[in-house]
A and B are shown apart, each in its own frame.
Chain A
Amino acid sequence: MNNSMLGMPEHLWKSILDTLIPATSNNHEASKIIVIEELVTDMSYISDMKRLKLFFEELPENFSKIDQSAREAILENLGKSSPETLDALINATYAIYYSHPAVLSTISENTGYSTTAPQPNGYVLKPFDERLLKKNKERPAMWRDPG
């Protein structure tokens, strides 16, 4: 335990993260990707950390030992009483997970999405096809001259 993890044991953090994003086929589980200290820092942008601590204190002691569906039910239930905190936790988890090179690489494998940053390469700028406007070019003026 350490303060940068809000005094929570690491295994509990990992269980929470993997409940939010579990592993499936070639997709990583969140705990393999996310450094917990980074998550805590990120959450400070968007959440009251005291509320987050209170949220965690509501988790049962055996949380990391129960199965995925039971953990989901617990988080969903807690989210009903503290929706902003759960939203912030999800937001920070997604923010780090979907910025990680390993995750982007998997997305690339699955979809063909580029693994590089948008710049400097960008994508091809195809010319606009003016022929598509044929119908609209035939429309009468739609603006009004108010005089």
Chain B
Amino acid sequence: MKSTCQYLVIGAGAAGSAVAWRLAEKGAEVTVLEQGGWVAPESSPSLTLGWERARHRTHHPNPNIRRNSWDYPIDDSDSDISPMLYNAVGGSTIHWGAHFPRLKPEDFRVKSLDGVGEDWPLSYFDLEPYFEINDQMMGVAGQDGDPAYPPKPHRTMPALPMGAGAEKIAAAYDRLNYHWWPVDAAILTADRGARLACNNCGPCDLGCPRKSRASTDVTYWSDLHSSKIRLITEARVSKINSEPGRVTGVTYIDAQGITHEIAADNVVIAGNGVGTARLLLLSSAEWCPQGLANSSDQVGRNLMFHPTALVTGIFSEAVDGFKGPFACSIYSQEFYKTDPSRGFVRGFQGQTIRSDGPLGSALGTYTSPVKWGSQHHEDFYGQFGHTASITVTSEDLPEAHNRVTLSPTLKDHFGIPAPKITYRVSENSRKILDFGIEINKAVLQEAGATDIRVVDLVTSAGFHLLGTTRMGSDPQTSVVDQFGKAHDCENLFIVDGGVFVTVGALNPTSTIQAIALRAADAMLGAPLLKVAENE
């Protein structure tokens, strides 16, 4: 049976929830299709002794490992990095660490400033009022005055405590005269309605029964007051239907395997940089044989992940890194910008990561696994509770050969081709990683670490899925315009991380959501907000 709607949003994750909320609150009629279902915060494994085991199995961020029926598999056999994502109302915010930096003003002008990549067709300041709305919606704890950013509105909730390991690292940064600052975290440090202040438990990635750590199911979806919004869960979109120059609706399959069609005046895709590219490629038609919105041949190309290395210090005294939000403590942007003397362009963010519980320590999530055999227990107690790590989160520049295509062999439960990832860490990123590793080693040594271990590429850190439907002014070299509108289809919009032109060296969720909110205003023809004009 066919139904019709004004705006059909595909995906209820970070971007889909934000765009749907904005559209609905402005009076539009919205239908959201989400491949997964609701995940009750109180179902978090962090309430059980098996929490760490769940993290490495049933709740693993890699869909190929957890193998939920509502996931789709990903062929990553030709990729240096495995993609991590989650399908549910809330999307990957169900399982994220909530580190919430914004891209910096210079990240939008990489071509002009550094001669690489491309400039964005919008600026940090175009997004600024939307960053602020999003911060209010998600709830951000932080500290005013970071010299690494333009002034932001007063953070109404204090920053998270940094933890004993980070205190040593911060003191080392100070002695070395390097920048550091407590992170902006999408985690409440004070009660707010039904969301309680963080109780410093640690495994934010397993969901938050207190709803302290933001996920869009407990932020945007809890704040929806419009009766004009409809959410259909366990709805797997298999194709966007189209005619030359415009889309007409979608075909989706429900959990029982029954196929449905919905006609729509406008379709908005928010399926992440892998899922969205896959869906566009699946939606080829006679008028667009290369895939929908793909006359430029850019759909799926320029995949960027932020290659990440990890340097871990082992301290003789306990630093109790299992306490506190694992991804949120302090960061350093001392080596963020290009310095030609280093032999590479752009730079890295050093993000201090706390550590793990007993199982994560044994498996060596942040270091190498604890030795097996007669030295096992000695090695375990030498590491457990005694480590703190610093990432080298590197700039990742767009390269056409890093891409998402359709797998010729792998299919999901319903026989729909899975995405295939082809990705190689670039020479520039490798140089950044190597440079950052040496910097972080020196910092940890200064901090007093007695042993330092290096993971030179965290292959499981494909959390940021970016660049595969990039925005731009030129339809020959980009897929959408600055408002996410497809160059090839007047009523098709893309608002997820795929639209990133370049990615900086920072976690992208805050920027993804700001782009989605701004795109919603543009879709409705509403005046775009300007700085200091926030609602």
Given contacts A91-B363, A117-B51, A133-B182, could you give 17 more A-B pairs where the C-beta distance is less than 8 Å?
A27-B377, A72-B374, A95-B363, A96-B53, A98-B358, A98-B359, A99-B53, A99-B359, A103-B358, A111-B318, A121-B201, A127-B158, A128-B162, A136-B179, A139-B147, A141-B147, A143-B149
- A133-147 contacts to B, CB under 8 A, are 133, 135-137, 139-147
Q: Using C-beta atoms within 8 Å of the partner chain, give the interface range for chain B.
A: 35 or more
**Residue B406, interface by CB 8 Å:** no
Interface of B is mostly: loop
Quick check: B143 and A130 within 8 Å, CB to CB?
yes
Pick from A113, A121, A126, A143: contact of B161, CB below 8 A: A126
A27 to B362, CA, bound (A): 14
Quick check: A119 and B323 within 8 Å, CB to CB?
no
Instruction: Give a binary string over B517-533; 1 marks a CB under 8 Å from any A CB, 0 the rest.
Output: 00000000000000000
Q: Which residue of chain A has its CB nearest to the CB of B208?
A: A119
A142 to B180, CA, bound (A): 11
Quick check: A136 and B113 within 8 Å, CB to CB?
no
Q: Which residue of chain B has its CB nearest to the CB of A128?
A: B159
Quick check: B369 and A118 within 8 Å, CB to CB?
no
Quick check: B385 and A111 within 8 Å, CB to CB?
yes
A140 to B458, CA, bound (A): 33
Quick check: B199 and A45 within 8 Å, CB to CB?
no
Listed stretches B104-112, B392-400, B423-431, B489-497; interface member: B104-112
Task: Please give the distance in Å from B92's CB to the nearest CB on chain A.
Answer: 20
A45-B57, A119-B44, A125-B161 are known contacts. Are A22 and B200 too (CB-CB below 8 A)?
no
Quick check: B322 and A113 within 8 Å, CB to CB?
yes
Task: Please give the distance in Å from A131's CB to the nearest CB on chain B.
Answer: 12
Pick from B44, B198, B199, B372: contact of A90, CB below 8 A: B372
In the complex, chain A residues whose CB is within 8 Å of the CB of B369:
90-91, 94
Instruction: Give a binary string over A94-122; 1 marks a CB under 8 Å from any B CB, 0 the rest.
Output: 11111101011001001101001111111
**Residue B256, interface by CB 8 Å:** no
Task: Please give the distance in Å from A10's CB to the nearest CB on chain B.
Answer: 20
- B281-321 contacts to A, CB under 8 A, are 318
Quick check: A144 and B372 within 8 Å, CB to CB?
no
- B157-211 contacts to A, CB under 8 A, are 158-162, 167, 170, 174, 179-182, 189, 197-203, 209-210
In the complex, chain A residues whose CB is within 8 Å of the CB of B182:
128, 133
A20-B373, A22-B376, A136-B181 are known contacts. Are A95 and B174 too (CB-CB below 8 A)?
no
Instruction: Give a binary string over A21-32; 1 marks a CB under 8 Å from any B CB, 0 the rest.
Output: 110110100000
A128 to B50, CA, bound (A): 30
Quick check: A123 and B181 within 8 Å, CB to CB?
no
Task: Please give the distance in Å from A109's CB to the nearest CB on chain B.
Answer: 12
Pick from A42, A107, A122: contact of B201, CB below 8 A: A122
A93 to B44, CA, bound (A): 23
Pick from B159, B162, B203, B209: contact of A120, CB below 8 A: B209
Quick check: A99 and B52 within 8 Å, CB to CB?
yes
A109 to B449, CA, bound (A): 25
Q: Can you name 14 A-B residue pairings with CB atoms under 8 Å?
A: A21-B377, A72-B374, A94-B370, A104-B49, A111-B318, A118-B202, A125-B160, A125-B161, A125-B189, A128-B162, A133-B145, A143-B148, A144-B106, A146-B105
**Residue B226, interface by CB 8 Å:** no
A33 to B385, CA, bound (A): 23
A21-B376, A142-B333 are known contacts. Are A121 and B105 too (CB-CB below 8 A)?
no
In the complex, chain B residues whose CB is within 8 Å of the CB of A95:
52-53, 56-57, 359, 363
Q: Which residue of chain A has its CB nearest to the CB of B167?
A: A132
Q: Which of A45, A69, A75, A125 has the most CB of B within 10 A?
A: A125
In the complex, chain A residues whose CB is within 8 Å of the CB of B109:
146-147
Quick check: A143 and B381 within 8 Å, CB to CB?
no
Pick from A101, A117, A123: contact of B324, CB below 8 A: A123
Task: Please give the distance in Å from B174's CB to the nearest CB on chain A.
Answer: 5
A89 to B320, CA, bound (A): 28
- Residue count of chain A within 8 Å CB distance of chain B: 59
Pick from A111, A126, A130: contact of B381, CB below 8 A: A111
A20-B373, A117-B49, A123-B201 are known contacts. Are A143 and B358 too (CB-CB below 8 A)?
no
**Residue A46, interface by CB 8 Å:** yes
In the complex, chain A residues whose CB is within 8 Å of the CB of B174:
135-136
Pick from A75, A94, A125, A142: contact of B362, CB below 8 A: A94
- B339-389 contacts to A, CB under 8 A, are 357-359, 362-363, 369-370, 372-374, 376-378, 381, 384-385
In the complex, chain A residues whose CB is within 8 Å of the CB of B150:
141, 143, 145
Quick check: A136 and B180 within 8 Å, CB to CB?
yes
**Residue A124, interface by CB 8 Å:** yes
**Residue B409, interface by CB 8 Å:** no
Please name the 7 residue pairs, one residue from A and one from B, whose CB atoms are nearest each other, closest first: A122-B199, A146-B109, A122-B201, A118-B201, A98-B359, A128-B159, A144-B106
